[in-house]
Amino acid sequence: MQHEESVEALRQEVTRNHRTLTGIAGVALIMLVGGAIFYHLVEHFDWLDAFYYCTITLTTVGYGDFVPKTDLGKLFTIFYVIIGIGILATLANTIIKNAMTRRQLKRAINLAAHKAEDAV
């Protein structure tokens, strides 16, 4: 009985993690699109370059081939990087946590199946 409660608790955690993952992925996408719109309008990057710049910046690769030239662009980039890297780090953490919880759930289900077979 206790094992069944453990499996149910893991199922609930997987559901919570999935909701969290979906929410954070949505926020990350909004960050990427919002940044691209900003850089397209303020720095006059074409759309592909704007998305490229946002991706390279938020993943901390930073090749340096594109840089903001306006003061507003530089100021925006400071906050964009601080907030965006935090969001992407949270996204990565949630993906890992989700994978680990799913693995725990799969093991718990397999263990329950083996115990049920042994009981027969």
pLDDT at 102: 92
Cα–Cα dist 83/88, whole Å: 9
Q: What is the largest CA-CA distance in the chain?
A: 74
List the CATH number of the domain containing 28. Answer: 1.10.287.70
Whether pLDDT at 15 is above 80:
yes
Between CA 18 and CA 98 the distance in angstroms is: 7
Please tell me the predicted confidence (pLDDT) of residue 115: 75
3 pLDDT above the threshold of 80: no
Q: Which domain holds residue 32?
A: 2-119
The number of C-alpha atoms within 13 Å of 103 and in the hemisphere containing its C-beta is: 6
- Provide the strand spans (E) within 7-90: none
Reported as a pLDDT band with limits 50, 70 and 90, residue 2 is low
Residue 78 — very low, low, confident or very high, per pLDDT cuts 50/70/90? very high
Question: Is it the case that residue 36 has pLDDT exceeding 90?
Answer: yes
